[in-house]
Amino acid sequence: GAVVSQHPSRVICKSGTSVKIECRSLDFQATTMFWYRQFPKKSLMLMATSNEGSKATYEQGVEKDKFLINHASLTLSTLTVTSAHPEDSSFYICSARDRGKMNTEAFFGQGTRLTVV
């Protein structure tokens, strides 16, 4: 099946620094990628929808200046957590759907465990 690669799988950073997470679709083109966040014992919550070549659409309550999303190509979207705080520590997961195949499974990256100390 289609593969979505997310990197890094785990990162520890100091408060105030920025962290970039990459999400790549390896064998298909994804005009749209999704970024989710999972809090402990909670569901996956959509943070933003990333569209190739245009601005991302953020869900209510998600700070766009804090969580910068860049979808520079049909196979790459990045999420940058700026000025990280300990409360940003979480599990971040990206997802992509094959271009033109809206009602099919969405493929997920491996996830990134972010710990801000």
Residue whose CB is less far from another protein, 5 or 82: 5
Q: Does 28 bind another protein (CB under 8 A)?
A: no
Among 79, 81, 109, 116, binds another protein (CB under 8 A): 109
Site string for another protein, 47-86 (x = CB under 8 A): --x-x-----x-----------------------------
DSSP string, 61-95: T--TTTEEEEEEETTEEEEEE-S--GGG-EEEEEE
The answer, yes or no, to whether the previous bond of 8 is cis (omega within 30 of 0) is yes
Identified binder of another protein from the candidate list 21, 69, 81, 93, rule CB under 8 A? 93
Coil, helix or strand for 4?
A: strand
Cβ–Cβ under 8 Å, residues 25 and 34: no
**Binding positions for another protein, 5-24, rule CB under 8 A:** 6, 9-10
For the chain, what percentages of helix, strand and coil (3-state, to nearest 5) are there? 5, 50, 45
Name the residues that contact another protein, by CB under 8 A. 1, 4, 6, 9-10, 32, 34, 36, 42-46, 49, 51, 57, 91, 93, 95, 97, 102-111, 113
